[in-house]
Amino acid sequence: MKKILYLFSFCALVFIGKANASTASLFELNESEVQLEMTDLNNLESYVELHQGITLSDLMQNVNLVQQFSLKSMPSRPFSPMFSFDDMEWFGFLWGFCCFPVGFIIYFVGDKEEEYLISVIIGFVLAVIIGGPSYYHYRGI
Amino acid sequence: MRLFSTILLIICLANTSFSQQFFRIKADFSIKQKKANGESTLIMGKVYYDKNAQKIIYINTFPKKETDVLIDTVLYSIIDNKIISKNSTFFTYKYSIFHLALIGNLSTFGLDGSVYKLVKTEKEKDLVITTWQADGKAKEKLGKIILSTKNKKLYGVVVFDNKNKIVMKQFFKNFVNVNGMDFPSEITQISYNASGKESYGITTYKNIVVDDIKDDNIYNFALPK
């Protein structure tokens, strides 16, 4: 009986320990991993600080610098717009374009994200814009 | 009578220092982002915020010379004194680090008095961890937020979606005290996309000035017509 009680206490302690660790462990940050990811950008930042007033288009004119910092075009604003091309859910867009009621049903039944709904609406609006004049042209109106 | 006046003066001065209100902040900033898809971003420049004007003004010098002004949830981008774009964002000045620091609400990340309610407080090692849950109808759409403070300063924020999945973590580091106001000079952000891949971001602030009395025309930036 004693052994069972010890075993039970041990399991309870392990469980409590794990439960406590789980909340604090959310705030563990692997600094070296983040810094490793940022190496190129840190180097670019130091270069820009040294050459005050230099812009990306100035840097792009120098092939060596383009290679050194692996330069590509980059966004210039601190916030993203609410919905961008990258957020488009193409499956939703196609449903919106071809048969929007099905797209809406999938949104409500399938517990989809808002990006899906926006994509369905964009697809639907595009279908109306393209389809409307074609319909009237076809009917000879 | 003299003694009474002296005591009254001391009380008034003490009261003034405790209720010190900050109203402006400016700093040199850099935002570095490395997205899960490999896309990199570096934005550098100066940022200005006046809590009475309620506008955040970013004067960017890199990647290009551009001024971005956030008014309510609309971001105006201006080049050569012309508005080149106007976009809606999810962001508003009220929950900006600048506003929260000026009104002394940074340690609760502005959640106190919002749709979020404090549901749990725990202490572990040097962290005080609080869990905040959205209230009422917002509960269906918004997940919980867990905050941690270290030495009464905000340390970390973990944002969950309504399916209890982590969408973002932020870490506030290297606090500096400027004119009595604490402000983090570095913020590390890790965001997770739908497939769980991580994107990293580091925002740094240098040359922080609080309650600057110059540059009125920038703090009260007038949009070009």
Q: What is the pLDDT of residues B33-62, one digit of tens each?
A: 998 888 889 999 999 999 999 999 999 999
Residue of A nearest to B62 (CA): A55
Q: What is the mean pLDDT of residues B139-149?
A: 91
Q: What is the pLDDT of residues A31-56, one digit of tens each?
A: 999 999 999 999 999 999 999 999 99
Neighbour tally for B133: CB within 10 Å: 17
Structure tokens at A32: 């070296």
- Domain count along chain A: 2
Q: What is the mean pLDDT of residues B112-138?
A: 92
Q: Looking at the structure, tell me whether residues A64 and A92 fall in a common domain.
A: no
Nearest to B89 among A57, A76, A82 (CB): A82
* Inside any domain, residue A54: yes
Q: Looking at the structure, tell me whether residues A52 and A92 fall in a common domain.
A: no
* Inside any domain, residue A74: no
| CA terminus-to-terminus distance, chain B | 60
| Complex ipTM value | 0.83
Residue of A nearest to B125 (CA): A24
Q: What is the pLDDT of residues B67-123, one digit of tens each?
A: 999 999 899 999 999 999 998 887 889 889 999 999 999 999 999 888 899 999 999
* Inside any domain, residue A18: yes
Q: Does the pLDDT value for residue B176 go beyond 60?
A: yes
What are the CA-CA distances from residue A15 to residues A21, A23, B125, B126, B156 (Å)? 10, 13, 18, 22, 25
Would you call B95 helix, strand, or coil by DSSP? helix
Read off the pTM.
0.74
Q: Looking at the structure, tell me whether residues A97 and A122 fall in a common domain.
A: yes
Cα B213 to the center of its chain, rounded Å: 21
Q: Looking at the structure, tell me whether residues A58 and A29 fall in a common domain.
A: yes
Q: Whole-angstrom Cα distance, residue B32 to residue B43? A: 7
Which residue type does B2 have?
Answer: R
The residue from A16, A35, A68 where one domain ends is A68
Q: How far is A57 from chain B (nearest CA, A)?
A: 8
Q: How far is B175 from chain A (nearest CA, A)?
A: 17
Q: How far is B16 from chain A (nearest CA, A)?
A: 36
Q: Whole-angstrom Cα distance, residue B143 to residue B89? A: 20
Place domain B21-219 in its CATH homologous superfamily.
Lipoprotein localisation LolA/LolB/LppX (2.50.20.10)
Tell me whether residue B132 is exposed, middle or buried, using C-beta atoms within 10 angstroms of its C-beta: 0 to 12, 13 to 18, 19 or more. buried
What are the CA-CA distances from residue A140 to residues A58, A123, A133, A135, B173 (Å)? 54, 25, 10, 8, 68
Q: Does the pLDDT value for residue A18 go beyond 70?
A: no
Q: What is the mean pLDDT of residues B137-144?
A: 85
Domain, as residue range, for A22: 2-68
* Inside any domain, residue A25: yes
